[in-house]
Amino acid sequence: MSAKNIILITLDGFRKDKIGLCPSLKSIKENSYYFSEMNTNAPYTFAAHHVIFSGMYPSCNGVDGYYKMFNFKKDEITTLAQLLKENNYYTVSETLDESVLPRQGFDEYNLFDEKTVNLKKRHMELIKRLSKKEKFFAFLHFTDTHLHYVREIVQKYEKSENDDEYYKLKKENNDKYEACTPLADDYIAEIKNVLDENGLSENTLLIIISDHGTGLGEKHGEKFYGVFVYENTINIFCIMHIPGKSPRIITKQCSTIDLYSTIAELAEAKIGKKSEIQGESLLHLIENPSAENRAVFVETGGLYGPWPSPEKHNIFCVKIDGKKLIYNDTPQSWEFYDLKNDPDELHNKYDENSKQINDLKKKLISHFKDNKIITKLN
C-alpha cells in the first residue's frame, strides 16, 4: 500500500442520501473508491463498531444484544487495533464511551464528552501530533450529527403518546436532519486541511463510513435507528481514499464486516489463526468489478419500537441481487422486497410458495446455524 497511515472515521448516524448536501464529503467521495452498496451488519452504534473491529457477526463476537456491549469475547478475538499494533502501528481511538468499541490494541483509548467537546479542534490537534509518528492508525468517532438530531427531534417524541405526531412530521424531521449535515461536512473539510498541511495526504489511507443510517419517520415503529432492518438505516456508505488510486464507484453489495480484512490487506498485516474472521477483503471488488454478488446479513434488537429486544437480536434479513428477505422473530413474521422496483420497501411481497423466497429463507436459516443464532425457527 502506498499509504503508511490509516484513519477510519465514523460519521455516526449519517444517511447516505445526504452526501450530496455536503461539498467536502462529496468531493472526497468523487476522488476515492466509493462503495455505494455498503451495509451495516447491525444498525446501532455498539454492535456496528464491534463488527468492524472484530470482523465477526454480533452472534459470534458476543455483542448480539443492546445491553451486551460488554460481552465482547476479548480473550478469543484479535481486534483490528491489536492486529495493527502487532504490525508496528501506533493506535489511537477517539470515542464517547467504552461501550462503543473494544479497548484491546489501542496505545491510546481516548474518551470525550460529546455534549461539550469541540471535535473539529480536538481531532485536528490529534492528527498534528500523530504526524510525528512513524506510522499510525486512528479511529475517529464523529457524533455531532447524531447528537443534534437527538436534541432537536428524538427527545421531543420519546413518549409513546407522541408516536403518531412523529410519523406525520416526516418532512419536518427531514428538514431538521438536513440542517445538521453541515456539522459533518465542516468536520471533514478540516480533516482534509490538516492532512494537507501536515504532509499526510499522500501517505494516509482515509476511510469514511457511517455506522448506521437514521430513520426520519419513514417506517412506523422506528423513531431513530436500530429497531428494524429497512434500507434507510442499514444501507450506508463507505468512502475509501487511497493516495494515487483513480476514483471508482463499486456497486457490488458488501458490508462492514468486510472492513477488518480490507484494512488488514491494505496494511499488509497477516491475520493470525486466533480470530475466525468472517468478512472478506473488498479489494477483489475493486480489482474485479464483475465479481459475483455475495449475500449480506443484518440483525438488530433495539430498545425502542413495537418489539423491544435489549437481551438479544430478534430481527434479521438477508440481501442479494436486489432482493431482500426479513425475518421478525417477535412476533414471528416474514417480509420480502424487490429493492430494484420497490426501494422504499412499501410493498411486502412475501409468498411462502415462491422458490426465490424459499431460496433466500434457506440462506438465512443456514446463516443462523453457522453462527449459532437461536430463533423460533430452530
Domains and CATH numbers, the chain: 5-287 (3.40.720.10), 314-370 (no CATH)
What is the rounded CA–CA span in Å between residue 231 and residue 235? 5
Q: Answer for the pair 289, 250: CB distance below 8 angstroms, yes or no.
A: yes
Check pLDDT > 70 for residue 19. Answer: yes
- Please tell me the least confidently modeled range out of 170-174, 204-208, 209-213: 170-174
pLDDT at 222: 86
Instruction: Report the predicted TM-score, pTM, of the whole model to 2 decimal places.
Output: 0.95
- Dihedrals φ, ψ of 241, to 5°? -100, 110
- Dihedrals φ, ψ of 364, to 5°? -70, -45
Average of per-residue pLDDT across 139-145: 97
Average per-residue pLDDT in the chain? 93
Q: Answer for the pair 246, 185: CB distance below 8 angstroms, yes or no.
A: no
pLDDT tier for residue 155 given thresholds of 50, 70 and 90: confident
Average of per-residue pLDDT across 342-346: 96
Secondary structure (3-state) at 336: strand
DSSP code, position 201: T
- Please tell me the least confidently modeled range out of 28-37, 50-59, 150-159, 273-282: 150-159
pLDDT 10s digits, 31-55: 999 999 999 999 999 999 999 999 9
User: Could you tell me if residue 226 is left (phi over 0), alpha (psi between -120 and 50 degrees) or otherwise beta?
Assistant: left
pLDDT tier for residue 306 given thresholds of 50, 70 and 90: confident
Specify the higher pLDDT residue, 250 or 220.
Answer: 250
Q: Answer for the pair 207, 240: CB distance below 8 angstroms, yes or no.
A: yes
Check pLDDT > 70 for residue 91. Answer: yes
